[in-house]
A and B are shown apart, each in its own frame.
Chain A
Amino acid sequence: MPIQLTSQAYCKMVLHAAKYPHCAVNGLLVAEKTKEKKKDSHGEPVLCVDCVPLFHGTLALAPMLEVALTLIDTWCKENSYVIAGYYQANERTKDSRPNQFAEKVAARISENFSEAAIVMLDNSRLTMSCFEPIVLIYDHHENKWKSREVTFDCFEDWSEAQKITSALLEGRSYENLIDFDNHLDDLRNDWTNPVINKSVLDLC
């Protein structure tokens, strides 16, 4: 079942990568929890309405990741969301394949959400104007993660996403993006990013 990204989810991922150009970054994608499972819901896309930026720098350590997953899971339950995917931007520009760590996290997410996807950011195509989507989406098929062709259908509204992301990059909004690492440095930093969410809404 394919995932779809809203403008808010897409632009926060890109802002996270832009804030730490010299580091790897990662985060979680959340979708709204659907109440009933329709019998023919196989073709319907899962809409990822938001993302939570997690860490930057050294990604592959377990304890804080566990804390983040548990805390965000609790938050999701309170807001009728579910963790539906994982995103990562690698440290090196030319490297956009999901690594062992990404697959592990995605496997963990799959335990709660069978159609979890991995979204990798293609650093080499990250520009201010965001002409084209820079994500690669991987689904789990027969024990392997396979990449899927990214079209404008992967977005709720690509032209809106493009416009908003480009505007926020130009305005250097990424300086105010909060990830879970920032939150651990100072608990007052809010990883739900209400300020950025409002900016996105204002630009819609």
Chain B
Amino acid sequence: MASVSEMYDVGWEEMRDKLRKWREDNCRNGEQIVDVGEELINEHASKLGDDIWIIYEQVMIAALDCSRDDLALTCLQELRKQFPDSHRVKRLSGMRLEALERYDEANKHYDAILQDDPTNTAARKRKISILKAQGKGAEAIRELNEYLEQFVGDQEAWHELSELYINEHDYGKAAFCLEELMMTNPHNHLYCEQYAEVKYTQGGLENLELSRKYFAQALRLNNRNMRALFGLYMSASHIAASPKVSAKVKKDNMKYAAWAATQINRAYKMAGRGTKENKCSMKTVEEMLESMQITMS
């Protein structure tokens, strides 16, 4: 089988930089990381300098995702040799046990870390992940709430909690978590748009109006967010179609929906430039929007 460097004609520096980009973007692409990382470790370890340790960590976690226990163990052993008393490495040992579904042993590892260092957030979060993996959604939510009382600024945790609530269909509480995230990240269009989706799902006229406003806000922050554009169209159309609204509100929302429809058609037109298949997709969208206007009015 051809090596990564042969297949893509890249040198070891590009491979190292790619791994760094994936680390920074927090991508969960296990197979690619294993392909690139394994080759980097096997062929170019000496050139990587101190970067090698963080690469071992990254590759180890990716190897767990791909069921490559052999590779994971190799990386783990190198890290243990270099950092014998490290809590960070102990957490990786715990993660390996989790991957092997030896949850009780993994919990013991994390409890040992927490005995030594009660503020170790990584260990606490792993324990919550174990509850999630075991299907104990309600317990995971409880533990995560307790965690957030202490570590109020942990955005990853707030986001995880919002997802747990969505899975339990508790949209009100999911919205609350997203509100926390929007407060601390007012320019993040993704949080705005997710909040709008949750409000829309909750349903009811008030929530629909709120959702429309937040879809609009997400668009203001990023005018290429298609979900926000579609969301604006859907929420405005539903409000306009509701029998409970005044004539003015109906008229305003029909205007918003019409504007959104134009933007959607324009976006599809731009995307379809040049390809025959996408032209059919553009036509489908036009027809869909027209048919929705008929059912809504």
Structural contact, A74 and B278, CB atoms closer than 8 A:
no
Structural contact, A74 and B231, CB atoms closer than 8 A:
no
**Once the chains are docked, how many angstroms separate the CA of A184 from the CA of B225?**
8
Flag whether A171 is at the interface (Cβ < 8 A): no
Please, which residues of chain B bring their CB within 8 A of the CB of A64?
197, 227, 230-231
Please, which residues of chain A bring their CB within 8 A of the CB of B30?
21
Structural contact, B133 and A92, CB atoms closer than 8 A:
yes
Query: Contacts A22-B28, A67-B230, A190-B277: A60 and B197 contacting too (C-beta < 8 A)?
Result: no
Question: CB < 8 Å: which of A61, A92, A194 contacts B197?
Answer: A61
Structural contact, A184 and B278, CB atoms closer than 8 A:
no
Query: Contacts A188-B278, A192-B277: A78 and B271 contacting too (C-beta < 8 A)?
Result: no
A191 CB to closest chain B CB, in angstroms?
A: 8
Structural contact, A184 and B226, CB atoms closer than 8 A:
yes
Structural contact, A187 and B268, CB atoms closer than 8 A:
yes
**Once the chains are docked, how many angstroms separate the CA of A136 from the CA of B28?**
28
Q: Residue-by-residue, is B191-204 near A (CB-CB < 8 Å gives 1, otherwise 0)? A: 00010111011010
- Per the CB 8 Å criterion, the residue count for chain B at the interface is 40
Q: Which A residue sits closest to B283, measured CB to CB?
A: A78
- Per the CB 8 Å criterion, the residue count for chain A at the interface is 30
Query: Contacts A63-B200, A64-B197: A187 and B271 contacting too (C-beta < 8 A)?
Result: yes
Structural contact, B288 and A63, CB atoms closer than 8 A:
no
Flag whether B167 is at the interface (Cβ < 8 A): yes
**Once the chains are docked, how many angstroms separate the CA of A187 from the CA of B163?**
25
Question: CB < 8 Å: which of B65, B135, B280 contacts A22?
Answer: B65
Q: Residue-by-residue, is A161-194 near B (CB-CB < 8 Å gives 1, otherwise 0)? A: 0000000000010000000000011111010101
Question: CB < 8 Å: which of B194, B235, B267, B284 contacts A78?
Answer: B284
Flag whether B281 is at the interface (Cβ < 8 A): yes
**Once the chains are docked, how many angstroms separate the CA of A58 from the CA of B163?**
7
**B contact residues vs A (CB 8 Å cutoff):** 28, 30-31, 65, 133, 135, 163, 166-167, 169, 194, 196-198, 200-201, 203, 211, 226-227, 230-231, 234-235, 267-268, 270-272, 275, 277-278, 280-281, 284-285, 287-288, 291-292
**A contact residues vs B (CB 8 Å cutoff):** 21-22, 58, 60-64, 66-67, 70-71, 73-75, 78, 92, 94-95, 100-101, 172, 184-188, 190, 192, 194
